[in-house]
């Protein structure tokens, strides 16, 4: 009598596509957690560089390194990167993606493709924030809060900056919905 072949359990490393394409199209929660962590560390280094440039500008007394509008644009970009690309998605997006399913005994998050989509929204929002630098009349110089009195009067590209923050907010919302559903639906039996 012939025995039926038992399918082997596939590793998350056997996604089918080699290299970087395998990473950015993977729906494995661990890989997406690593993608978030690598992206956030990269953006943190960019924001830290901008912060150092702003601090060097404050140390110069006689000849400024750049104009006041450029300083305000650096201030806004530094705030947008630090708040929307590092602090808000920080622990939840990177470590939550990596450890949450493991801690509750699930194989993956509830919606793996939505998880990858939220990372795509994260990268798209970051690219929109950078694109706002080079379109219009320059990057918004209103601060990361985009408060109304100054953001209406300025001639810079505030709309693109606000839209980038909106897209980044959608990334966080999708990640949060995925985590809530994962915790409530995919817990190991008997886990309270």
- Over the stretch 24-61, which tens digit does the pLDDT of each residue have? 999 999 999 999 999 999 999 999 999 999 999 999 88
Query: For each of the chain's 192 residues, which pLDDT tens digit applies?
Result: 566 666 666 554 555 677 888 899 999 999 999 999 999 999 999 999 999 999 999 998 888 888 888 888 888 888 888 988 999 888 889 999 999 999 999 999 999 999 999 999 999 999 998 888 778 777 777 777 777 777 777 777 788 888 888 999 999 999 999 999 999 999 888 877
pLDDT of 54 reads 93
Is the pTM for the entire model greater than 0.85? no
d(CA 83, CA 179): 21
pLDDT of 9 reads 60
- Of 93, 112, 81, 133, give the one whose Cα is nearest residue 12: 112
Most distant CA pair in the chain, distance: 91
Could you give the dihedral angle defined by the CA atoms of residues 92, 98, 103 and 106, in that order, rounded to the nearest 10 degrees? 110
| Under 8 Å between Cβ of 76 and 141 | yes
d(CA 76, CA 87): 15
pLDDT of 1 reads 57
d(CA 39, CA 43): 6
Report CA 107 to chain centroid distance, whole Å: 23
d(CA 192, CA 182): 14
- Of 107, 115, 97, give the one whose Cα is nearest residue 9: 107
Token pair 């690598």 is found at 38
pLDDT of 24 reads 92
Domain boundaries, the chain: 27-185
| R_g of the chain computed on alpha carbons | 21
User: What single string gives the DSSP state of each residue in 29-74?
Assistant: HHHHHHHHHHHHHHHHHHHHHHHHHHHHHHH--SS-SS-HHHHHHH
Across 43-53, b (16+ Cβ under 10 Å) vs e yields: bbebbeebbeb
């Amino acid at each position: 009598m012939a025995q039926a072949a038992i399918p082997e359990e596939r590793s998350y490393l056997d996604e089918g596509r080699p290299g970087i394409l395998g990473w950015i199209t993977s729906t494995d929660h661990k890989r997406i957690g690593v993608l978030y962590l690598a992206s956030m560390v990269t953006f943190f280094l960019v924001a830290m560089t901008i912060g150092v440039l702003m601090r060097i500008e404050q140390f110069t007394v006689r000849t400024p390194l750049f104009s006041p509008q450029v300083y305000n644009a650096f201030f806004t970009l530094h705030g947008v990167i630090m708040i929307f690309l590092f602090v808000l998605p920080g622990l939840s997006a990177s470590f939550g993606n990596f450890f949450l399913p493991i801690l509750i005994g699930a194989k993956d998050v509830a919606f793996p493709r939505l998880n990858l989509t939220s990372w795509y929204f994260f990268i798209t929002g970051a690219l929109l924030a950078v694109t706002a630098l080079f379109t219009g009349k320059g990057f918004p110089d209103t601060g990361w809060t985009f408060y109304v009195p100054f953001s209406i009067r300025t001639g810079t590209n505030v709309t693109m900056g606000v839209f980038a923050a909106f897209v980044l907010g959608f990334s966080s919302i999708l990640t949060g919905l995925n985590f809530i559903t994962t915790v409530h639906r995919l817990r190991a039996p008997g886990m309270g």
